[in-house]
Amino acid sequence: DLWAGIDWSTFDQRVVTMIERVLRRARPESHAVTALLSAALAAELLYLDPARSDRVSSDAVVAAEASGDPVVLARVLLQRYWAVSGSEGHAERAQIGDRLIQLTESGLLPARFVPLAHLARVSAAYEVGDMDLVHSCHVRARASAHPVRTPTGWAHLQYLETSLALL
């Protein structure tokens, strides 16, 4: 999801402690587990300790890449996308959008990721006024989003189209 599925402004020390405990016990070769847990830990730390959250989130991407599982990578990239909000994260969000598009074009991801990939790239292009790229990605997102088969992508598409209509 391009929007956090959790409240990133909420911090629960018990959750942090539990995730850290499980991460310490995880086998080194359990890259998918490490990636998903690290992404969850980064979400918990985002407002409490932004620097640590950034490191943990970045490590989650590395672990997701090492897992070799494109779905795990896409999920972690979407969480990383949210974690690097703000103008200083623009370039990385654009790179994440490009990487998500590459993954979807490889055919290795379920259809539900396709509109989200294009919409992730739209968002970064929209921020800098690259309207040609916005429209190109919008067309691809519209072609792949469906209100029933990809409800999250559909909701993001509707948000984008409302924004474009207002613009």
**Which residues, in sequence order, are CB contacts of 157 under 8 Å at separation 6+?**
115, 119, 138, 141, 142, 145
Residue-level pLDDT at 7: 57
What is the pLDDT at residue 88? 83
- Written as tens digits, the pLDDT of the chain (167 aa) is 555 555 555 678 888 999 999 999 988 889 999 999 999 999 888 888 889 999 999 999 999 999 999 999 999 999 898 788 778 889 999 999 999 999 999 999 999 999 999 999 998 899 899 999 999 999 999 999 999 999 989 999 999 999 999 98
Unique residue bearing structure tokens 């189209």: 161
Q: Are 108 and 130 in contact (CB under 8 A)?
A: no
Alpha-carbon torsion angle 112, 100, 87, 5, nearest 10: 30
pTM: 0.88
- Quote the pLDDT of residue 138: 96
